[in-house]
Amino acid sequence: MSNVPVDTALEVTAAAAPIAAGPGGTARRRFVFVRNGKSVTGLVILGVFAVLAVIGPWIAPYDPSKVGVGTLLAPPSARHLLGTDHIGRDVFSQLLVGTRGVMVVGVLAAVVATLLAIAVGVTAGFLGGAGDEVLSAVSNVFLVIPALPLIILVAAAVRSTSNLTIALVLAATGWAWGARLLRAQTLSLRRRDFVEAARASGERTWRVVWFETLPNLTAIIASSFISTMTFAVLSQTTLAFIGVANVNDWSWGTVLYWAQGNQALARGAWWWFVPAGLLIAILGMALSLVNFGIDEFVNPRLRLAGLKPREMRQRGIRPRIGFTATVRDLPRRPEATR
Amino acid sequence: MRFLVRRVVFYAVTAWAAVTINFFIPRMIPGDPVQALINRYQGQLDTDAIQSLYVLFGLDKKVSLWDQYWQYWGQLFRGDLGISFSYFPTPVTQVLRSSLPWTVGLVGVATVIAVVGGSLVGVYLGWRRGSKADAIVPITTFFSSVPYFWLGIIAIAAFAVTWKVLPTGGGYDGNLLPGWSWQYTGSVLQHALLPGLTIVLSSIAGWILGMRNMMVTVASEDYVTVAQAKGLSERRVMFGYAARNAILPQVSGFALSLGFVVSGTLVMEMVFSYPGIGFRLFQAIGGKDYPLMQGIFLVITLSVLVANILADVVYVLLDPRTRQEA
Amino acid sequence: MSTTDDLTRDALRPPRAPGAGRPVLEIRGLAVDYGYGTRRVHALRGVDLTLHEGEVLGLAGESGCGKSTLVYAATRLLAPPGLIAAGEVLYHPEVGEPVDILRLADDELRASRWQDTALVFQGAMNSLNPVYRVGRQLTDTIAAHRPRSTRAEREERARELLRMVGISPERIRSFPHQLSGGMRQRVMIAMALALEPRVLIMDEPTTALDVVMQRQILEQIMQLRDRLGFAVVFITHDVSLLIEIADRIAIMYAGEVVEDAAADDVYRRPRHPYSVGLLHSFPPLHGPRRELGGIPGSPPDMGHLPAGCPFADRCGFVVDACRTVHPTLVSTAVPGDDPSRQVACLRHDRAALAAAGAPEVEVPAALAVR
């Protein structure tokens, strides 16, 4: 596994390169919201998981479902990096193989939900009036209805609970938040001069939406994509854990399902349930980091522009609202310039 | 007033949508789940019960969908949610009645603690941004990123298995007789402690982060600067001007994210085998107990709606702009 | 700036309010940065400015020249990433030694605020807390500074203040959203006068209002000033407005004061090329019409200021030395000018030119109008 992060780090840097390179490029302007430390860190971690999702099944040392590749419930060792489960299956392989399920469901659900959110949110924001009322009410209904019991109900009713089904159900229940955000942003955009101008000059509505509105929504769209992916990953894991999803499809939640069902806790088999949860946490944190970066881009007040908190703390300067910080040992005259 | 009327209409629509979803989903179930039940409990099912289950699952082919829908509503208003398969022959309503208080007690109290505590911490963090307290932010991010149930597993591993100070699960000591005795109450509290703390720990992060960001945003509003310029005390500016306004989106956010939070806490009950509706839901999945699943979905949705109405009332009390006449 | 200058200037200026002439707020060498460390931008670069008792001092300049930054930094209300890097702001109490606002402890500063210096902010819309009634926002100010006053006294004072700015005292029960923009700004003015401060800072107090309302409010402020005798710092980008209401005007450019003179002198006898340009950008409210002209170019990027005069690139009177020598405030080189007026332009600064080894230049006629 040692060489994997390096590869992905490169890949992500390469992917991010057009952002950093070439002044004035459109990509640079369009994706500036991921150009800060937090977002980049998050994206790098996401990249690692994406690569693992692709190559995981190939680099897994054992077949994750093969019984008895090691002794039963063996703690981590050189042969089994994360030990074995109650019937001697390799936990490390299960997690590696399971990465794909988590990422596929997460990304697929997020893509579908984001498309739904754009369709509903932007339309509502643009239509205004009764159409807006109806679409907003629909998204609010979906927001208020608790998703998990609904998903359980649906998953129990449908015949197959494959990853695809789970992803679609998650998308169907998880689009509303993004739609709400996009509607609000579209509403405020619609009133701005350049959109008004485009409408007034008789441009077709779809052109106005596509060329004038959507490019200005990229940050919000990205943010809602990331939020939905977080929701989907957590929900998928939960569904797998409670046994609603197919327990023979490996994912991190499935590992926890088997661990929980087979007294991993009582037997003290920490290697069985701790790593899976940590993986979810790391993925979740990576997603949060990306969103923090986007939030700071969208809401400049969250930024401490040009102020490095740690450096300032060392010098005893604390930026505060209402009591402007002064440089310690404030000189009575400015040093240079004149 | 307009605000409240709109909200009431919205809740009516949401309740209707939930009931309608509940009506349609069982019709997607392949096969005839009721027939399987009848075969299993030969002769124990009376015809009324069978009829109500047929309405629930839409198996009565002679009746049109529209009439089925009305029958279903009629059944709902009589409080008839069918018979639980896994607790046969207990009616679903009775299963819900016995488990709902546990959930309301545990999830309700834990959520209130998390919201109040999280908001207070968020106020402090947002106000003192750039200070050492900012180090809490990555920690809270971690806790908001892990699934609730995993944190529950870790909590059990730590405090009930490795260090045996608290029970691993259940609502009370099984050797005790439920009643208003000190022993029983103590046992209930003891059993609620670990799941409760875990729920607080895992859900507080979201409230902290939300409140912190709102504080940071509101702190740069002009009226906060004016409050500072007026020479008001730090406490007054922080609570009366900044936090007092930052709490508003937090309240409406509370209403909207409650569904998500409740979902997470239901799973927590499963991990702790806590006798609330989350645990019943878990059992219902295992036993393919569709009527119970439906009933639970309905009850949870309606509870979330009630909580939303409460949040709206609070919002109206907090924000004079919603009280504007005309 | 030397103290003897102050004395002569005060002797020449006709006093307009009782007790006028003594400095009440003295800003010395105030430097403000946005950001810290390598990425900082100098927003103010050593500003000297004195406000005298009862005087109306106008601060003018284009957007981003630092006029708002100056007053917010001087009151320590500038929001992060603003950072005060150097200087002192001396407040002269009626009795006793002057205090440096920048070096006050938090609780001392809190006690001094609003009591000594009150502000009226630019955005009337956002200056009032939307969830509190107007009365509460007036009384909490009084309560914070007069802890021994009773509730009834404070309420009565709040009613009186509202009446003073021409608002019905019943409005004490209103929430901000129930008031019009003009009313809100009046409430802000009432609030500012609650403790009868000696200095009132107004940051574009009328920009968000319609023209009629602007007039009304301005007249009201001036009436109140005549009655209560506070000194005013009035910020606007509208120089013609200042000429009407101000006793003295300081023109700012790129984070510096470039001209500081009596209002009439600035209007009739501007000495800095930028002042000349600024005056020609606005139609005068009264008096003869004149041709409008703009100033070519745009203000410099504060992150990359040139070495010499920041206005050199846009100046019609630029000489070679302007590119290398940074001008400082000096007396004008026009005979017969008020000796206390100051200008930061090499065309007036023979000493600086000589020190830089540059050839001596004449003051152009356009900068020496009598």
Helix B277-286 and helix B290-318: axis angle, to 10°? 150
Q: What is the separation of C-alpha C73 from the centre of its chain, rounded to a whole number of angstroms?
A: 12
> A27 or A324: whose pLDDT is higher?
A324
Structure tokens at C136: 């509460």
Give the C-alpha separation, B148 to A241, whole Å: 11
Collect all residues with Cβ–Cβ distance below 8 Å to B133 and sequence separation of at least 6: B124, B125
| pLDDT score of C2 more than 60 | no
Distance from CA of B218 to the nearest CA of C (A): 11
> A65 or C343: whose pLDDT is higher?
C343
Give the C-alpha separation, C348 to C340, whole Å: 14
Q: Which of A168, A156, A149 is nearest to A109 (CA)?
A: A168
DSSP line for A274-328: HHHHHHHHHHHHHHHHHHHHHHHHH-GGG--TT--HHHHHHTT----SSS-EE-T
Backbone angles phi, psi at C133, to 5 degrees: -70, 155
Q: Which residue of B has its CA nearest to C110?
A: B231
Give the C-alpha separation, C81 to C87, whole Å: 18
Note the pLDDT tens digit of each residue in A259-315.
Answer: 888 888 778 888 888 999 899 999 999 998 888 888 777 777 676 655 566 666 666
H/E element, A153? helix A147-157
Q: What local confidence, expressed as pLDDT, does residue C283 receive? A: 61
In three-state secondary structure terms, C330 is strand
Structure tokens at A85: 């489960």
Residues of A in contact with B151 (CB under 8 A): 277
Q: What local confidence, expressed as pLDDT, does residue A103 receive? A: 93
| pLDDT score of A39 more than 70 | yes
Distance from CA of A218 to the nearest CA of B (A): 21
> Domains in chain A and their CATH numbers?
6-336 (1.10.3720.10)
Chains touching C (at least 3 CB pairs under 8 A) are A, B
Quote ipTM for the complex: 0.84
User: Helix, strand, coil shares of chain A as percentages rounded to 5?
Assistant: 70, 0, 30
Amino acid at C232: V
Q: What local confidence, expressed as pLDDT, does residue A286 receive? A: 92
Size of interface A-B (CB pairs under 8 A): 183
Residues of C in contact with A316 (CB under 8 A): none
* CB B196 within 8 Å of CB B106: yes
Give the C-alpha separation, A337 to A322, whole Å: 28
Note the pLDDT tens digit of each residue in C7-40.
Answer: 333 333 344 444 457 899 999 999 998 877 777 7
Residues of C in contact with A307 (CB under 8 A): 35-36, 80-81, 83
Q: How many residues does chain B have?
A: 326
In three-state secondary structure terms, C120 is strand
Could you tell me the residue ranges of all domains in chain C?
A: 127-196
Q: Which residue of C has its CA nearest to B244?
A: C131
In three-state secondary structure terms, B284 is helix
Q: What local confidence, expressed as pLDDT, does residue C5 receive? A: 42
The count of other CB atoms within 10 Å of the CB of residue B259 is 25
Give the C-alpha separation, A214 to A118, whole Å: 9
Q: What local confidence, expressed as pLDDT, does residue C288 receive? A: 59
pLDDT band at A11 (very low <50, low <70, confident <90, very high): very low
Q: Do C81 and A305 lie within an 8 Å CB cutoff? A: yes
Q: Is A243 on the interface with B (CB under 8 A)?
A: yes
Q: What local confidence, expressed as pLDDT, does residue C280 receive? A: 78
C-alpha distances in Å from residue B112, one per residue of B103, B296, B307, C329: 13, 22, 11, 62
DSSP line for B137-181: HHHHHHHHHS-HHHHHHHHHIIIIIIS-SS-SS-SS-TTSPPSS-
Residues A74-89: what's their mean pLDDT? Answer: 83
Note the pLDDT tens digit of each residue in B222-243.
Answer: 899 999 999 999 999 999 999 9
Q: What is the separation of C-alpha A126 from the centre of its chain, rounded to a whole number of angstroms?
A: 27
pLDDT band at A8 (very low <50, low <70, confident <90, very high): very low
Q: Which residues of C touch B (CB under 8 A)?
A: 75, 77, 79-80, 106, 109-115, 118-119, 121-123, 126-133, 140-141, 144-145, 175, 177-178, 188, 191
Backbone angles phi, psi at C88, to 5 degrees: -145, 150
In three-state secondary structure terms, C7 is helix
Distance from CA of B310 to the nearest CA of A (A): 14
Q: Which of A71-75, C19-23, C59-63, C333-337 has the lowest mean pLDDT?
A: C19-23
Collect all residues with Cβ–Cβ distance below 8 Å to A192 and sequence separation of at least 6: none
Give the C-alpha separation, B72 to B52, whole Å: 9
C-alpha distances in Å from residue C247, one per residue of A34, C86, C228: 51, 28, 16
Note the pLDDT tens digit of each residue in C281-298.
Answer: 766 555 555 555 667 777
C-alpha distances in Å from residue C214, one per residue of C58, C204, C282: 16, 10, 17
Backbone angles phi, psi at B73, to 5 degrees: -60, -45
Q: Which residue of A has its CA nearest to C82?
A: A324
Distance from CA of C311 to the nearest CA of B (A): 32
Mean pLDDT of chain C: 84
* Regions of chain B with pLDDT less than 50: 326
| pLDDT score of A24 more than 60 | no
* CB A324 within 8 Å of CB A309: no
Q: Do A280 and B150 lie within an 8 Å CB cutoff? A: yes
Residues A60-80: what's their mean pLDDT? Answer: 82
DSSP line for A221-289: HHHHHHHHHHHHHHHHHHHHHTT-S-TTS--HHHHHHHHHHTTTTTTT-HHHHHHHHHHHHHHHHHHHH
Structure tokens at C28: 């010395």
Q: What local confidence, expressed as pLDDT, does residue A16 receive? A: 30
Instruction: State percent of chain A over pLDDT 90.
Output: 13
